A and B are shown apart, each in its own frame.
Chain A
Amino acid sequence: MKHYLIIFAHKPLLNQFRIAELKSAIEAEEIKEIYYIPYYENKGNERVRKPIERETLIELYNDKYLVVQMKNDEEAKRMTERCSFIQSIQEIWGDAKDLESCIRHAKTYAKENRERLEKEKEEKQTFKINVNTFGTKLNKKKHFEILTNITTTQILKDVLGKVKLSKPEREFEMHMVFQLNDEQSKTQEENKQIKNAKRKNKYKVKEKTDDMVNEKMKYMLRAIFAKKIADGGREKLVTYSLKTRPYIGTTSMSAELSFLVVNEAKIRENDYVCDPFVGTGSILLAAQIYGAHVIGLDLDIRVLKGNGKNHYDNIKHYQINKNMDLLRGDLYQHKTCWRVGEIFDAIVSDPPYGVRESCSRIGRTEYLKVEEKYQENHIAARVPYDQEEMMADFFNFAAYTLKMGGRLVYWLPSPVQFHIPNDLPYHPSFSLIRVNFDQLTLTRGRRLITMEKTKPFVEAKAATYHNTI
């Protein structure tokens, strides 16, 4: 079991999803042994370790670093490639409060694992060290001092290898976290005053002397020396972003949120996934990237055909080697027309709630028979689909067609004040796992709800379910 350092990327509106994504990636890759090691708790020489849960990690919503204990490099790599909020994962060699003690830690680590590290050096001979600071900027002198300190210590010299600055085979990073002085951290008002003064050319910049830099170094909180193992999935956000996609619409979900949905649903290669409210297919595209086969259903045929461009254009653009099957279907009609009980591995969707797309089903308030000559090209009339009825049908459909242990993931619009077990829809064969909140305005937002099928579906009780929501 080794210690690893996870470095998060900073996205102010979506930081809340970080740890949920980590947890869902752990479940998706079936990693069993992973613990969180808080920095400030020590029992003698050993560090205290805790399981990863959101309640213990709420304080870290805005922090950049997270220390974690895992078995392998392999598992660490698999986990980070699924997460789009992680910049990289690194193997910790030294972790302490000062620079010098950090280098001492690194020495002892290198001593203990000498054989393994010398084997690595034979395979990967070139290396590079980056120095990252969180809270200040460093002088060039100090930067150089730190590098020479590390590379001239005896034991580390034997293990590191040759220096190569462009595309080395191993990358090391030296992280230093500083605490901001009271003088340095400025409030919003002070920042505004400075801006106004700059406009009027009255603001003078203080020159930085060596003394000032040394003062800042006194407030160092933490220093970590680590070797990079893998980059996180942030490249995916760039390649699959909506800005370059050929076929999008008003209801398409952004790449970050659709990858989050796919991670929560534990979608792996060779899964069979369904979306009963496809629309433009943004969530299913994310599922296909992870290797799943996909079916999409929608009542609106304009969205399935596309306006010159198609779902299939998306697939060609990203060179995905799978195809998707599309059907025009109404959930109210086809909820009981699937032959076998357990077909799908996961059901993922963003049901319509009447804001950006109309929530309706086929029907009429009064019965009117269509004559035979008009039956082929008849465009059916629509009736508004009651939300409670829709959720009941959706749950029954999912309970009928999902395998045991399969996941149902969907978005629910809800106000900010919300009582979690009582206000959510309930179904006897599903158990609630997690709820994530995405706030859109001051009073409203939408919640991502994941449920897992734990009990089999009883058909006789389907009718009574309508009354329990």
Chain B
Amino acid sequence: KLLTQNMLCCLKCNAFPLDIQATKIEEEKQFYSKQFIQRMLTRIDYEALVYTTKQLNLPPLPEKMPAEEDMVDNFYYNMHKLLLEIRIEEGTLECQSCKRTYPIHNKICNFVLRDDEIMEKEMYDRKNTLAARQEMREKRAEEQDTPNLEEAEKMMDTILSQ
């Protein structure tokens, strides 16, 4: 569904949004409830939706989300169709920066990295966290020199003023 595609980032590089290249699309009718769509509109990235509608050659959407007063029932119904009724049966999700493809087969997306990719990611993260921790340690070592002096000065001021 397009609603889930709106929430996912790439597993490797955390890029958003993921491109859809669909070979087979199915439209299933679903029960329309206005409240659900009102709720979801606050949690959606509207620009990403516009981008994907252009990719899939669907009827275009206005570029900016209309203000709350202008939202007509028609608008909600169109969003309902887009978000919930369009289902991608076969195709791929592709990341823009690292070009990793996640295949979709029988409406189920294989949103998983291989084992060697995960090992690479772990090693990369470990390096980063080690570097980050060293930075924190250095910062703390610097700060430990100064605050004692400042606090001591404040204490002296309060005592003298009394």
Contact with A along B1-15 (1 / 0, CB 8 A): 101101111110010
Residue from B33, B87, B114 whose CB has the most chain A CB atoms within 10 Å? B114
User: Nearest 4 CB-CB pairs, A to B?
Assistant: A270-B36, A321-B31, A329-B111, A367-B119
Contact A305 B106 (CB under 8 A): yes
B111 — which chain A residues lie within 8 A by C-beta? 327-329, 334
Chain B residue with minimal CB distance to A368? B116
A248 — which chain B residues lie within 8 A by C-beta? none
Residue A301 is within 8 A (CB to CB) of chain B in the complex = yes
**Bound-complex Cα distance A341 to B17 (A):** 15
Contact A340 B43 (CB under 8 A): yes
Residue A370 is within 8 A (CB to CB) of chain B in the complex = yes
Contact of B115 among A299, A323, A363 (CB under 8 A): A363
Residue B45 is within 8 A (CB to CB) of chain A in the complex = yes
Contact with A along B119-140 (1 / 0, CB 8 A): 1100100000100000000000
Q: How far is the CB of B12 from chain A (nearest CB, A)?
A: 9
Chain A residue with minimal CB distance to B125? A463
Contact B33 A463 (CB under 8 A): no
Residue from B8, B31, B33, B112 whose CB has the most chain A CB atoms within 10 Å? B112
* Interface 9-residue window, one of A1-9, A52-60, A206-214, A375-383: A375-383
Chain A residue with minimal CB distance to B37? A270
Contact B11 A337 (CB under 8 A): yes
Contact A380 B109 (CB under 8 A): no
Q: Which residues in chain A, 209-247, are within 8 Å of chain B measured between CB atoms? A: none
Q: How far is the CB of B149 from chain A (nearest CB, A)?
A: 28
Contact of A336 among B14, B110, B129 (CB under 8 A): B14
Contact of B30 among A269, A322, A333 (CB under 8 A): A322
**Bound-complex Cα distance A304 to B108 (A):** 8
Residue B41 is within 8 A (CB to CB) of chain A in the complex = no
Contact B30 A362 (CB under 8 A): no
Q: When A and B form their complex, what is the total count of cross-chain residue pairs whose Cβ atoms lie within 8 Å?
A: 104
Residue B25 is within 8 A (CB to CB) of chain A in the complex = no
Residues of B within 8 A of A (CB): 1, 3-4, 6-11, 14, 16, 28, 30-31, 33, 35-36, 39-40, 43, 45, 84, 87, 106-116, 118-120, 123, 129
6 A-B pairs with CB atoms under 8 Å apart are: A333-B11, A339-B8, A339-B16, A340-B7, A362-B113, A362-B115
Residue from B87, B113, B115, B129 whose CB has the most chain A CB atoms within 10 Å? B115
Contact of A362 among B4, B9, B118 (CB under 8 A): B118
Residue A272 is within 8 A (CB to CB) of chain B in the complex = yes
B114 — which chain A residues lie within 8 A by C-beta? 362, 370, 375, 378, 380
Q: How far is the CB of A158 from chain B (nearest CB, A)?
A: 45
Residue A326 is within 8 A (CB to CB) of chain B in the complex = yes
B31 — which chain A residues lie within 8 A by C-beta? 321-322
Chain A residue with minimal CB distance to B14? A337
Contact of B112 among A325, A375, A380 (CB under 8 A): A380
B116 — which chain A residues lie within 8 A by C-beta? 364, 367-370
Contact A305 B45 (CB under 8 A): no
A339 — which chain B residues lie within 8 A by C-beta? 6-9, 16, 45
Contact with B along A264-288 (1 / 0, CB 8 A): 0000011010000000000000000
**Bound-complex Cα distance A337 to B9 (A):** 5
